[in-house]
Structure 1
Amino acid sequence: MNKFLWPLGLAAAIFSPAPLWAQNALTLDQALELAAARSPSLSAAAREIEAADGALRQAGLRRNPELSSSVEDLRARTRTTTTLLGLPLELGDKRPARVAAAERSKDLAVADLALARAELRARVTASYFGVLLAQERRSLAADSAAIAQRAKDAIGKRVAAGKASPVEDTRARVDLANSQLEAAEAQAELQTQRFSLALLLGQTSPSFERVAGEASAAPKRPALEALLAQLDSAPSLQTARLERERRMALVAVEQSKSTPDVLVSLGAKRNNEQGLTQAVLGLSIPLPVFDRNQGAILEALRRSEKASDELEATRLRLMAELQEAASRLAMADQSLQTLQETVLPAAQQTYEAASKGLEAGKFGFLELLDAQRSLLQARSRYLNTLAGAHQAAAVIDRILGR
């Protein structure tokens, strides 16, 4: 952990045994494993693949034969019975077109599962670091309360010795009360973040007390040019591409329906009165005079064109999101470096000097209060910037499916 995020004046607590809330720690790998095992969205996507398997199997089946029988004259002596077996012949490559469309549907279901995994991983990662940073904010709030308590005690001694005005003591009490309220709010925020992460892990209440990790470590990702080079393999783009292919396959299915099927009939006709059995051969051909499936073909073509437009729109949207996230991450990285190297050390030194000066009677409470607020604001800004960096990295990972 960055040294500027450690509680000031609590060195003894750093080397003391871990508190109860720190015993049950959850790692990021454990969180991702639990989420993948219990996620209903992943389960639903996997079942869609199973359903696509059924559709693919159905698409490859041939049409069933037809058996028909007719009787002329119900009297047994003069009865004529005709029995026919009809064999449908699919023309126009209907069956291969159906199979191709079903295969594209299965490919799309597989891509949807990959997309669901990428989105879940990004959400869990973002929530995990949300808990991690909430833990640090709680530590900062506790540190703020400790600083305010020390300032109040120092002012109390000066007031008792007649070296400071009682007004300063009142201000110190107000500042302590505000710090304690902030500590309570930070604790509540931590609980909210913990419950949000628990829900992603399939838990109704958190089974962990804290998450383990290095809060001060900023996420690193390749440069924008390298990220854009990986965009073609993004799960969302792959899903849109497969949807376009599926729509094109459906166009072929509708076009194949414009060719009518032929029904070949083979059977026998039994004439009881004459005692004859005659072979019967029939051929049935629909005449596509009015319905040539032209409306369905037009619909499929337009939906195919729509899928192509959506693919391009998805590409542009992902490119914009990737550029924005990469820019935010780069800006956050620069800000974190400045905060670590310049702002935080200067704020800490100023506070330590003001604290010692107050105890020695060289500075007043207002100087210490200003130094204290500057330090806490710098540390809070560091955490907020770090949170923004993790959020930007999570967006990048979600887009690229990492």
Structure 2
Amino acid sequence: MKSKESDRGRSILRRGRAVVLAFLLATGCSLSHQVREEVHTAFEQRFGNVEAEAAPYAQVPVQHEEGEEAEASSPALQPARSLRDYLVLALKENPDIKAARETVRARAERVRQVTALPDPFLQTKTLPEPVRTAEGDNPFVLGISQKLPVPAKLDEAGRIALQETRMAIEALQQTRLRVLADVKRTYFRLYVLDRSIEITEANQSLLQGLIDVARTQVAAGRRTQDDVLRAQVELSNLEAELIDLRQRRITAAARLNELLDRSPDEPIPSPEDFDIRRVDLTLDDLFARAEKANPELKRVREQIERDRHGLKLAKLASWPDFSIGFEWILMDPRKPFKPPINLQTGRRPPFSRLSEAATDNWAINVGLSLPIWFDKIQGGIEEARRKLEASRYRYRSARNRIHFQIEDALERVRSQESLARLFRDTIIPQAEQTYRVSQASYSAGTSDFLDVIDNWRKWLVFSIQYYRLLGELERSLADLEQAVGLSLSDTGAP
């Protein structure tokens, strides 16, 4: 009889272990595998080929001198000098991007944590006065128990962690696009500063020639010394402008090195010349592409899905959790109770000697929680519902903001493109011609020196303004790419 009971107990234990194992496999393993696959896919396929990813963002119409061929640029073989080189380096080395990648990995590790069972609980019970039974004294009990939440609770908690990992992946892409845009903005700021320095230095030589002409006129008695002094003042002013431009160039180079995680004084060669970008984009097409590609919108959509699972989990709080436990009951042997001899028969009545063997005993415990605090449960449900509504409003806000950013950037692009073409094709040639005519008239003695200086200054300002417009155009295009979430080459723009 005792053997049959032991066999039945062992059978119950085996079945219990099988149930717990199936419970673990059903709740945690599939989601853990899924999140690992998604992170691996994102890192290897979506973010793995940085050279190919950077190429569309570096497609600007570069100008080459006649007879000059563009050299292939490989960041692994030579120092960075082209926009593409800097973009590749930023994607590989920028610390903000690296931090965002580690955040993705950290979020992914949450899945297997929240889908795992709680730690089992081990407890002992010592009785100073052992419980006396027919089978012996019971001085000590050792027990272990395991809480078993409803599988749906662990599943929803895992899906919340999975959604947060997806949010982190989109936040990583958002960081990468921001860094790419920052690199482009800084690169084109350097371009404008370098061209401004070149133009200013060239105008120093030009102004020195004007001073020589003025001195010749003064020596011939046709002009006064005022003309020479005015030209020298302008020359000194150019030197002051050069000092400011060179300082700003150092600052811009340090900013670019910061984005590349390099020393601030790392040399930055002068950016290549490029032509005006032709822009042929429609607002509706950009809006549609942003809905699919913008990582901020995708992140908030994942957040909405996360909060849906959060609401489901809050509703599951009304479901009880189970627990299963096992107890080992130690039995100490003791002398059995011997009844007195029957005086009539002269014999001792039969008695049990089980206490001499003192066979240890065991027990299985099963329990469940009682979710009776309904007000607390309802509060959790309402909190989760409000979070879901807040995320929906955040999506609308982000969508409106991104639509504004796209429209604003596109209008700036169109305006700057038109202005750049106007300056290049009309204003600068006219200003140069006006200066040349006034210079010839001054040399012939038929024009005032103030007219020459005024026309020269306008030519200088318009020339610098043209390159500023070029830089502003490319920076606005960088803003547009960041808002859309794609390079303009990927949107089908020329």
TM class by shorter chain equals 0.7 to 0.9
Distance in 1 separating the partners of 2:382 and 2:85: 51
Q: How does 1:185-334 map to 2 (within 5 A)?
A: 185-218=244-277, 220=279, 222-232=281-291, 233-272=293-332, 274=355, 275=358, 277-290=360-373, 292-334=376-418
Q: Per the alignment, do residues 221 and 393 of structure 1 end up closer, same or farther by CA in structure 2, a change over 3 Å counting?
A: farther
Is the contact made by 1:219 and 1:389 (CA closer than 8 Å) also made in structure 2?
Answer: no
SS in 2 for 1:287: coil
In the alignment, which residue of structure 1 is the partner of 2:6? none
SS in 2 for 1:293: helix
SS in 1 for 2:318: coil
Q: What is the aligned counterpart of 1:140 among 199, 202, 207?
A: 199
The one-letter code of the counterpart of 1:199 is: E
In the alignment, which residue of structure 2 is the partner of 1:105? 164
SS in 1 for 2:137: coil
Distance in 2 separating the partners of 1:41 and 1:61: 32
Distance in 2 separating the partners of 1:180 and 1:82: 92
- 1:68-117: per-residue Cα shift (whole Å, max 9, x none)? 33233456973343343423221261111111111111111111111111
The one-letter code of the counterpart of 1:348 is: E
- Gaps of at least 5 residues in structure 1 are 7-23
Q: What is the aligned counterpart of 1:123 among 175, 182, 185?
A: 182
Regions of 4+ moved over 4 Å: 74-77, 276-279
- Gaps of at least 5 residues in structure 2 are 1-60, 66-78, 335-354, 488-494
- 1:36-71: per-residue Cα shift (whole Å, max 9, x none)? 222111111111111122111212323344333323
The one-letter code of the counterpart of 1:104 is: Q
Is the contact made by 1:247 and 1:303 (CA closer than 8 Å) also made in structure 2?
Answer: yes
Is the contact made by 1:235 and 1:399 (CA closer than 8 Å) also made in structure 2?
Answer: no
Comparing 96-105 with 83-92, greater Cα deviation is found at 83-92
Distance in 2 separating the partners of 1:229 and 1:252: 32
Instruction: Calculate percent identity across the aligned residue pairs.
Output: 21
In the alignment, which residue of structure 1 is the partner of 2:9? none
Distance in 2 separating the partners of 1:294 and 1:382: 64
Distance in 1 separating the partners of 2:462 and 2:468: 10
Q: Per the alignment, do residues 355 and 215 of structure 1 end up closer, same or farther by CA in structure 2, a change over 3 Å counting?
A: farther
In the alignment, which residue of structure 1 is the partner of 2:105? 50
SS in 2 for 1:72: strand
The one-letter code of the counterpart of 2:306 is: R
In the alignment, which residue of structure 1 is the partner of 2:93? 38
SS in 2 for 1:26: coil
The one-letter code of the counterpart of 2:297 is: L
So what's the TM-score if we normalise by structure 2?
Answer: 0.72
Comparing 287-296 with 359-368, greater Cα deviation is found at 287-296
Distance in 1 separating the partners of 2:112 and 2:158: 8
SS in 1 for 2:327: strand
Distance in 2 separating the partners of 1:219 and 1:307: 39
1:88 aligns with 2:147: yes
In the alignment, which residue of structure 1 is the partner of 2:124? 69
Higher radius of gyration, 1 or 2: 2
Distance in 1 separating the partners of 2:430 and 2:89: 43
So what's the TM-score if we normalise by structure 1?
Answer: 0.87
The one-letter code of the counterpart of 2:160 is: A
Q: Per the alignment, do residues 189 and 216 of structure 1 end up closer, same or farther by CA in structure 2, a change over 3 Å counting?
A: farther
Give 1:301 shift.
1.9
The one-letter code of the counterpart of 2:324 is: V
Comparing 271-280 with 120-129, greater Cα deviation is found at 271-280
Q: Per the alignment, do residues 317 and 175 of structure 1 end up closer, same or farther by CA in structure 2, a change over 3 Å counting?
A: same
Distance in 1 separating the partners of 2:287 and 2:397: 16
Distance in 1 separating the partners of 2:403 and 2:167: 22
Distance in 2 separating the partners of 1:29 and 1:247: 40
Q: Per the alignment, do residues 203 and 266 of structure 1 end up closer, same or farther by CA in structure 2, a change over 3 Å counting?
A: closer
SS in 2 for 1:96: helix
In the alignment, which residue of structure 1 is the partner of 2:11? none
Comparing 221-230 with 34-43, greater Cα deviation is found at 221-230
1:157 aligns with 2:216: yes
SS in 1 for 2:112: helix
